[in-house]
Chains A and B, each alone.
Chain A
């Protein structure tokens, strides 16, 4: 696909693919990371980082005849996103090589669709860059140590598209949403920075301060 004439201007407005996943987990987490540039590590994020450090060698390899591109830079102007794919396998032969994204994830498959959306976002980038249809990819979870195949059907494509739009709107507005406390908060490494319980329905500070000044 030929780059559009205003490609350079569009490049400025691309948002990271990882922001889509953060947004689906929690819009405020996404804003804290991508607007407020806050980051905190916990056990889970360290495990995830180490896993990717092992996977992201950047060196293409070939196993059972399938060539794999590692840490491939990707982008889609249609969705306004950019990022890196852990691994993209090239399936098929000769002139009909079809990219097949594989994303490595710690833990086990999750009930929310954040991982699927992230993979689908990669697929949409690959479609735009390679000029072909990408209908399938895989998530590789370390527990169980196994691949889960993901079909990029219309529903998933729509959800991915919609999420990309919401992320772009939020980042363009530069406004961090108020927290909404839920069970997921205790697994979030940004909980201390977010303070969901205290700031969900913030106290009237003025009243609190004056009361505490007395006695």
Chain B
């Protein structure tokens, strides 16, 4: 079994990372703050101004450890890439499918169907856990959304053109996010969700979702690169310079499962509070430094949880699922499977 390895998140500005033997050492103001063996690492993510020695960067490239720089709010800036650059035959197969709308839809519709099914599962869990204690109007709204999404998954698997698929996906997102407020148990009005906003996030829930989606996107990108797929060439998301379209495609299945559920847990268990956010002039809202650490720790814990992979039937950590989906996608593109088994969470 491929091992679930750790990602180190460095958030302390002006930290210095270096290699010492087979270890990574984190220094702040000349003092050693942490140390970990490289062979247990899958990735190193630096948020903000953080330095690293060339020896460490070379060792990461050699060992296939994803080393990335992100802005403090999690926007991807740069990464270190080693000499292993994947399989050109697989990429050609990927491009051929991406160039062919009819074939792209066959993958994209399963991705969207799985995403909508997973959104439905989020609602089912809310109904199961809190349904009885909710006002009747809320229960009705949740049940209606659940039924609509269930019905929509059946429509999606029959769609044959990309525009209709994108249309239905947008509709499903509106229905899902229209009841998102009912998932939130916090009494604090600061955690009112005002519909999905991204550039910038206009409320705290959106700020939290955006940060988690950035982490998820990063993991999906690494997963695709590790199997040799090109993260920039997608099927559902069209090519756009600088956009990792395939990583966005792969993320869709996991958004409700990994990011949305985690955001709700953090809010509902009061692990993040209203004061953990900064409200900027103009209405944009971002997470504070300390709260980012809380979220990163929770993200790591979430990825350590075990599940049974629906298609492979093996027990694995959540953190490995993106790798397995990337692998199954590559197997489909190489002609070993009759379709792409997108991730359905129950």
Chain A residues in the interface with B (C-beta under 8 A): 35-40, 174, 176, 178, 191-193, 195, 198-199, 202-206, 208-210, 212-213
Decide if A205 touches B84 in the complex (CB within 8 Å).
no
Q: Check B1 against A205 for contact (C-beta < 8 Å).
A: no
- Whether B228 contacts A38 by the Cβ 8 Å rule is yes
Given known A37-B84, A213-B344, contact A202–B2 (CB-CB < 8 A): no
Q: How far is the CB of B124 from chain A (nearest CB, A)?
A: 11
Contacts of B227 in A (CB 8 A): 38, 193
In the complex, A40→B337 CA distance in Å? 22
Q: How far is the CB of B169 from chain A (nearest CB, A)?
A: 15
B2 touches A209 (CB 8 A): no
- Residue B47 at the A interface, CB < 8 A? no
Nearest chain B CB to A207's CB is how many angstroms away? 9
Contact check, A174 vs B336: say whether CB atoms are below 8 A apart. no
Q: Which single residue of chain B is at the shortest CB-CB distance from A195?
A: B312
Chain B residues within 8 Å of A, Cβ to Cβ: 1-2, 84-87, 89-90, 110, 113-114, 117, 153-154, 157, 227-228, 310-313, 327, 330-332, 334, 336-342, 344, 346
A202 near B89 (CB under 8 angstroms)?
A: no
Cβ-defined contact, B228 with A36, below 8 A = yes
**Contact partners of B340 in chain A: CB under 8 A:** 205
The minimal Cβ–Cβ distance linking A117 to chain B, given in whole angstroms, is 26
Contact between A210 and B157 (Cβ–Cβ < 8 Å)? yes
A206's contact among B312, B331, B339, by CB below 8 Å, is which? B339
Cross-chain contact of A204 among B86, B336, B338, B342 (Cβ < 8 A): B338
Contact of B341 among A40, A178, A192, A205 (CB under 8 A): A205
* Interchain nearest-CB distance for B230 vs A (Å): 13
Among A39, A205, A208, which residue has the most Cβ atoms of chain B within 10 A? A205
Give 7 pairs: A residue, B residue, CB < 8 Å, sorted on A: A36-B89, A36-B90, A176-B334, A193-B327, A205-B338, A205-B339, A209-B113
**For B342, what are the chain A residues with a Cβ–Cβ distance below 8 Å?**
209
Whole-angstrom CA separation of A124 from B264 in the bound complex:
65
Residue of B113, B228, B338, B346 with most partner-chain A CB within 10 A: B338
CB A49 to nearest CB in B, in angstroms, measures 12
Q: Which residue of B lies closest to A198 (CB)?
A: B312
Residues of A within 8 A of B86 (CB): 37
Chain B hits for A35, CB < 8 A:
87, 89
Enumerate chain B residues within 8 angstroms of A212, measured Cβ to Cβ: 310, 344, 346
Are A213's CB and B113's CB within 8 A?
Answer: yes
The 7 A-B residue pairs whose C-beta atoms are closest, nearest first, are A192-B2, A205-B339, A36-B87, A205-B341, A206-B339, A174-B89, A212-B344
CB of B201 to closest CB in A, whole Å? 31
Tell me which of A37, A209, A212 has the highest count of chain B C-beta atoms within 10 A of its own C-beta. Answer: A209
Cα(A36)–Cα(B334), bound, Å: 10
B228: A residues at CB distance < 8 A = 36-38
The answer on a CB contact under 8 Å between B89 and A209 is: no
Distance (whole angstroms) from the CB of B312 to the closest CB of chain A: 5
Bound CA span A178–B310, Å: 22
When distances are taken between beta carbons in the complex, the residues of chain A under 8 Å from B110 are 209
A192 touches B339 (CB 8 A): no
B89, B113, B346: most-surrounded residue (chain A CB, <10 A): B89
Residue pair B337, A205 in contact (C-beta under 8 Å): yes
B160 to chain A, nearest CB (A): 14
By a CB distance below 8 angstroms, the chain B residues around A203 are 311
Residues of A within 8 A of B338 (CB): 202, 204-206
Inter-chain contacts of B337 with A (CB < 8 A): 199, 202, 205
Closest-CB distance, A187 to chain B (whole angstroms): 13
Q: A203 to B337, alpha carbons, bound, how many Å?
A: 8
B154 touches A213 (CB 8 A): yes
Q: How far is the CB of A198 from chain B (nearest CB, A)?
A: 5
Inside 8 A of B85's CB, which chain A residues have their CB?
A: 37
Given contacts A209-B341, A209-B344, A212-B344, contact A193 B2 (CB under 8 A): yes
Chain A residue contacts of B117, Cβ below 8 A: 213
Given contacts A209-B157, A213-B113, A213-B154, 7 further A-B contacts (CB under 8 A): A36-B87, A37-B228, A38-B227, A38-B228, A176-B334, A199-B337, A205-B311
Q: Which residues of B contact A209 (CB under 8 A)?
A: 110, 113, 157, 339, 341-342, 344
Kindly identify which residue among A195, A204, A208 contacts B327, using a CB–CB cutoff of 8 Å: A195
A178 and B339 contact, CB distance less than 8 A = no
Given contacts A193-B2, A204-B338, A205-B337, contact A198 B157 (CB under 8 A): no
Q: Assess whether B336 is in contact with A213, with CB atoms less than 8 Å apart.
A: no
A208 close to B311 (CB less than 8 A): yes
Residues of A within 8 A of B84 (CB): 37, 39
Question: Contact at B89–A213, with CB atoms within 8 Å?
Answer: no
Interchain CA distance A176-B331 in the complex, whole Å: 10
By a CB distance below 8 angstroms, the chain B residues around A37 are 84-87, 228
- Asked if B153 contacts A199 (CB within 8 A), the reply is no
